[in-house]
Amino acid sequence: MTGWLASITSRMDGLYEYDREPVTPDRLQSGGKFAGLFAGEHVAATEFVIGAFFVLHGVRAKDLLVGLLAGNLLAVLSWTFICAPIAIRTRLTLYWYLRKIAGPGLTIVYNLANAVLYCILAGAMIAVSATAVGLAFRIKTPALDAIFPTSVGWVLLTLLIGALFTILAILGFEKLSRFAEVCSPWIFIVFIAGALAVLPRLGVRPDLGNFWEIASTKIWNGIPVAGQEKFGIWHIVFFAWFCNLAMHIGLSDMAIFRYAKKWTYGLYTAFGMYPGHMLAWICSGIMVAAVGREMNPGLMAFEALGLAGVAGLVLAGWTTANPTLYRAGLALQTITPNWPRWKVTLAAGAITTGLSCFPIFFVKLLDYVAIYGLVLMPIGAIVFAEHWIFPPLHIEQYSAEKRGWAFNWLAFGVWAGTLVVCSLMPIHLYFRWLPGTFIALFSYLFLSLGRKD
């Protein structure tokens, strides 16, 4: 068992070896680079689905605007005050910092959890792209309550698109990443242009004089579609806040902010949040209203911009599934001895493609995003406690590293225990992560008091 763990640990360390050392001052990046990075990262195929779902959940126009402004601000502040300060003090990725705190064994578990979650996310992107390609073959998009594949056509289509994305990822991840940089501004324009193009269909006059009236009565009119629960302002605030929970409070964006000159660079995430997680969501809401509130991203894009819209949706799915497949592959590589890069990407692609056949991950995307953040959040709380609260209380930091533990069972217990408690909370799924964060933080703190110097 110990030999097996040592072998996996050494392979995993090899994979991340290049960023083992803290970032040196000469490699720090300018604020403009951060603004560009975040602006490109947060306009994805899933934005077509998220904004549209808000309409289907009967959000009112005012609640949407105030909720998105507030929720995205809270997300930006979480990056700025929680993630960025730890990153610039340690100049390490979460992987290496967690290794000091939780030991290599728990870091493997964290990596594998991440891999599975990445595969599901990439699967949802494939499904979104499939709705666009399916239009040409008259393949019906699954209903909002679908869990299993609804037709042979849907299965074949998702398998085909998943296989294509995987093959392209194997052939050249880096070339695709460069292509994604070209796609990114255009995909953002697709959202704006699509919404603009369908406004006349909804009855908005060219002088925009009746825009608010149309927005409040025909788009975000407060009436959910059959089978969807009603969302209010707090659902929107919390959704916008936790949409990237794993990245800010979960600290995985330490990998990015370790290159920042100052912790205030966290504010640059606003360049991703407000165009991507506000404007794009509003635009997709307008587009879904124009197709009679039918959750079909392919139809939304086609009705708005014709073939170019369909291409936009496929490209958005492809360019965002590509790095997700890469990350999943990297995480999976820890348990695949001596496998070459192509083989690991193929395995990640096969899992992802299999998952994409199940429409539940696409039609329940909002819930999945909530679960994704929730699962990884306790690790961020543990790292936060260890970094900021342990030193003033004279509790020993980095016990796993100092004592040579392979597995910090206390951290694992707090992680698992927090998730159990969160699953039992009698509140909406979207709100559970916040008390969960405090539960993880304080329980790890109190249980660690025995390590006081």
Residues binding another protein (CB under 8 A):
178-179, 181-182, 185-186, 189-190, 192-194, 196-197, 199-200, 204, 206, 304-308, 311-312
Residue 190 vs 236, nearer CB to another protein:
190
Residue 183 vs 260, nearer CB to another protein:
183
Residue 219 vs 236, nearer CB to another protein:
219
**Least distance to another protein, CB of residue 305, Å:** 6
**Least distance to another protein, CB of residue 352, Å:** 26
Among 204, 193, 220, smallest CA distance to 304 is for 193
Distance CA 221, CA 230 (A): 11
Residue 138 vs 178, nearer CB to another protein:
178
Distance CA 162, CA 356 (A): 8
Residue 75 vs 190, nearer CB to another protein:
190
Alpha-carbon distances of 439 from 388, 419, 424, rounded to whole Å: 16, 10, 13
Distance CA 199, CA 206 (A): 9
**Least distance to another protein, CB of residue 299, Å:** 15
Residue 187 vs 422, nearer CB to another protein:
187
**Least distance to another protein, CB of residue 425, Å:** 44
**Least distance to another protein, CB of residue 322, Å:** 16
Residue 189 vs 427, nearer CB to another protein:
189
Phi, psi dihedral angles at 29 (to 5 degrees): -110, 160
Residue 213 vs 367, nearer CB to another protein:
213
Q: Are 12 and 107 in contact (CB under 8 A)?
A: yes
Residue 186 vs 405, nearer CB to another protein:
186
**Least distance to another protein, CB of residue 288, Å:** 17
Residues 6+ apart with CB under 8 A from 296: 131, 141
Residue 304 vs 371, nearer CB to another protein:
304
Distance CA 127, CA 363 (A): 9
Q: Outline where 203-279 has alpha helix (H).
A: 211-214, 233-242, 254-257, 270-274
Kindly give the interhelix angle for 280-290 and 297-332, rounded to the nearest 10 degrees.
140
Residue 67 vs 276, nearer CB to another protein:
276
**Least distance to another protein, CB of residue 199, Å:** 5
**Least distance to another protein, CB of residue 193, Å:** 4
**Least distance to another protein, CB of residue 201, Å:** 9
In the chain, the amino acid numbered 222 is G
Q: Outline where 258-364 has alpha helix (H).
A: 270-274, 280-290, 297-332, 341-356, 360-363
Kindly give the interhelix angle for 173-202 and 280-290, rounded to the nearest 10 degrees.
50
Distance CA 412, CA 57 (A): 36
**Least distance to another protein, CB of residue 219, Å:** 15
**Least distance to another protein, CB of residue 125, Å:** 20
Beta bridge partners of 260: 29
Q: Are 128 and 346 in contact (CB under 8 A)?
A: no
Find tokens 């296989």 and name the residue: 163
Residue 191 vs 281, nearer CB to another protein:
191
**Least distance to another protein, CB of residue 185, Å:** 6
Q: What is the dihedral of CA 213, 218, 224, 230, to 10 degrees?
A: -20
What is the sign of the dihedral through the CA atoms of 156, 158, 164 and 170?
A: negative
Q: Are 165 and 322 in contact (CB under 8 A)?
A: yes
Q: Are 313 and 48 in contact (CB under 8 A)?
A: yes
